């Protein structure tokens, strides 16, 4: 997963997000829990390749890769990430395979997904 740093060492990643990745975010061992992730898959975020695990929420895969800004707010264009992680609050809306307003916190990751940050009400940044 350290690949996440290398992949995003360019202008995508702000300094704070590099700090944030100072250590692996994936938990490899836990005193109470056993994690059994799905297969490793590649997907695309803002055109860059990222890896995650099949079936985990898109927001979790992005977070583990050091990506926390999921969209920009409608009027003030402020960065937003997830808040509730269980599909209640709609802070984590992204565009997936051309469809805007997808709740990334409860959408299972699939191979080859093309994910973009959402701007405002759902127009993808790349198109603006």
Summarize as ranges the residues that interact with other proteins (CB under 8 A).
14, 16-17, 19-20, 22-33, 35, 37, 56-57, 59-60, 63-64, 68-70, 73, 78-89, 105-106, 108
Closest approach, Cβ 96 to other proteins, in A, equals 14
Q: Please state, in angstroms and rounded to a whole number, the distance separating the CA atoms of residues 102 and 109.
A: 12
Q: Please state, in angstroms and rounded to a whole number, the distance separating the CA atoms of residues 22 and 13.
A: 13
Question: In this complex, which beta carbon is closest to other proteins, that of residue 77 or of residue 123?
Answer: 77
Cα→Cα distances 52→32, 40, 48, 74, 127, Å: 23, 6, 13, 28, 25
- The pair of three-digit structure tokens given for residue 24, joined into one six-digit string: 């692996």
Closest approach, Cβ 87 to other proteins, in A, equals 7
Closest approach, Cβ 76 to other proteins, in A, equals 9
Question: In this complex, which beta carbon is closest to other proteins, that of residue 7 or of residue 59?
Answer: 59
């Amino acid at each position: 997963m350290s690949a996440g740093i290398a992949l995003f060492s360019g202008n995508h990643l702000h300094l704070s997000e590099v700090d944030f990745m100072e250590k692996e975010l994936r938990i490899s061992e836990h005193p109470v829990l056993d994690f059994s992730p799905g297969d490793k898959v590649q997907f695309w975020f803002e055109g860059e390749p990222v890896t995650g695990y099949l079936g985990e929420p898109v927001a979790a895969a992005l977070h583990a890769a050091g990506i926390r800004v999921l969209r920009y707010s409608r009027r003030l264009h402020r960065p937003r990430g997830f808040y509730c992680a269980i599909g209640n609050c709609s802070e984590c809306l992204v565009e997936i395979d051309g469809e805007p307003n997808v709740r990334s916190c409860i959408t299972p990751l699939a191979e080859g997904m093309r994910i973009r940050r959402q701007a405002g009400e759902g127009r993808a940044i790349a198109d603006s």
